[in-house]
Amino acid sequence: MRPADRADMTASLYLGLISGTSADGIDAAVVAFADNTPQARPTLLFGKTYAWDDALRERLVALGQADALLTLDDIGDLDARVGLAFADAAAAAIADSGIDLARVAGIGSHGQTLRHRPRGRANDGVAPFTLQLGDANVIAERTRRPVVADFRRRDVAAGGHGAPLVPALHAALLRDPAESRAVLNLGGIANLTLLPAAPRDGDAHPDDNGHHRNAADGVRGFDTGPANGLMDAWCRQHTGQAFDRDGALAAAGSVNGALLSRLLDDPWFAQPPPKSTGRDQFHLGWLASRLAGGESAADVQATLVQLTVRTVADALRQAQAGTARVVCCGGGVHNGALMGALAAALPGMDVESSADHGIDPDSIEAMAFAWLARQTLLGLPGNLPAVSGARGPRVLGAVYAA
């Protein structure tokens, strides 16, 4: 029996859950679709971020370091605890939204990434893999709704990076026929979705050869490097605050040019797309190995802001020089220093928040996993091979019955 046959596909609502690279909370989004056609446009009905238990978050953040070691008991315990936290977030989102749980056709759970090595590690023979925590059985048991999880590994099995997975949703929501755009997600890691001018709102039509076209045709996307994950970790280490509110710490410092050059010398930045990365690559140990010693906390924070800006701007100019508009989402849109520096580095491009298009910048990634759950339950591919590098379109994830 196909996965779609195991769900109530007459319902039009889906719930998406994700904790991103920064592990700064569990984002939940209830998303409506007008019908069950592949082209149905998603609409956000409710979005909210739910806090982690402090002790659990500390464990997850510590595990982002490349040298973190875990026992099998550690992994099993964390998998169960993250699953419980996601189940609690799902229940809270349903309660807070006032939506009848029976109307939710499925839940898409990204989980919390523990390690992301889609190209393996040649120096010690590690095979390509990506691993997300958060037992979906727990979510299905607690909510009694079908859950789709483990989205990334099928794409990796098909030779892809398993990331980014959000560009298809970016295309459905933000592509415009009149101008080339980029969507910049400023999460723990920064990633770009490139949207050359195309049919509006996913309106499909045949091309000159009679082939079916849609909003995702010609879309590309890739990670550009660290964003909030590294800035948040540095801020927490030196101020005790979870993040640099309004970019105040960075604004108090000055960019250290020598340090910025050492950071930019990392070979990863020169790799061509498709490419993806994570907190296990760009972490405090990586930063510490490039410090000369004696740098002020504010100067390092200002330099980290500029690292994000430079890597985004360089990648965008190289990959889509004619970009007219950069639509930003993710937690970084709330960092005034970062947004101002991006606008200064991208003259001739309008740099704005997705909120300017009526889309909550904090909910887009959770919306994407609601969309991906729907794709899976309908038996439709969720990846874009041009983005991930996979050998072809694949139906993603595993279905956990209600």
Q: How many distinct structural domains can be found in the chain?
A: 2
Q: How confident is the model at residue 2 (pLDDT cuts 50, 70, 90)?
A: very low
**Among residues 341, 357, 373, which one ends one of the domains?**
357
On whether both 193 and 332 belong to a single domain, the answer is yes
* Helix (H), strand (E), coil (C) string for the chain: CCHHHHCCCCCCEEEEEECCCCCCCEEEEEEEECCCCCCCCEEEEEEEEECCCHHHHHHHHHCCCCCCCCCHHHHHHHHHHHHHHHHHHHHHHHHHHCCCHHHEEEEEECCEEEEEECCCEHHHCECCEEEEECCHHHHHHHHCCCEEECCHHHHHHCCCCCCCCCHHHHHHHHCCCCCCEEEEEECCEEEEEEECCCCHHHCCEECCCCCEECCCCCCEEEEEEECHHHHHHHHHHHHCCCCCHHHHHHHCCCCCHHHHHHHHCCHHHHCCCCCCCCCCCCCHHHHHCCCCCCCCHHHHHHHHHHHHHHHHHHHHHHHCCCCCEEEEECHHHHCHHHHHHHHHHCCCCEEEEHHHHCCCCCCHHHHHHHHHHHHHHCCCCCCCHHHHCCCCCCCCCEEECC
Residue 1 pLDDT greater than 70, yes or no: no
Q: How confident is the model at residue 262 (pLDDT cuts 50, 70, 90)?
A: very high
**Res 64: pLDDT:** 66
On whether both 48 and 30 belong to a single domain, the answer is yes
On whether both 302 and 340 belong to a single domain, the answer is yes
100-156: pLDDT as tens digits: 999 999 999 999 998 888 888 767 788 999 999 999 999 999 999 999 999 999 999
Residue 383 pLDDT greater than 70, yes or no: yes
Residues 309/341, Cβ–Cβ less than 8 Å: yes
On whether both 159 and 174 belong to a single domain, the answer is no
On whether both 304 and 392 belong to a single domain, the answer is no
On whether both 315 and 383 belong to a single domain, the answer is no
157-181: pLDDT as tens digits: 999 999 999 999 999 999 999 999 9
Q: Give the mean pLDDT of the chain.
A: 91
On whether both 38 and 121 belong to a single domain, the answer is yes
Provide mean pLDDT across the span 53-71. 82
On whether both 97 and 180 belong to a single domain, the answer is no
Closest CA to 92 of 14, 28, 20, 16: 28
Q: Quick count: other Cβ atoms within 10 Å of Cβ 159?
A: 15
On whether both 308 and 334 belong to a single domain, the answer is yes
Provide mean pLDDT across the span 272-295. 94
| Domain span at 95 | 3-163+362-400
On whether both 59 and 186 belong to a single domain, the answer is no
**Measured distance CA(115)–CA(304) in Å, rounded:** 23
The predicted model scores a pTM of 0.90
On whether both 44 and 157 belong to a single domain, the answer is yes
Q: Give the highest mean pLDDT range of 61-65, 116-120, 379-383.
A: 379-383
Q: Which two tokens stand for residue 319?
A: 């990959």
Residue 88: CATH number of its domain = 3.30.420.40
**Res 122: pLDDT:** 67
On whether both 382 and 256 belong to a single domain, the answer is no
β-pairing, 325-329 vs 350-353, is: parallel
Q: How confident is the model at residue 209 (pLDDT cuts 50, 70, 90)?
A: very low
**Among residues 323, 338, 357, which one ends one of the domains?**
357
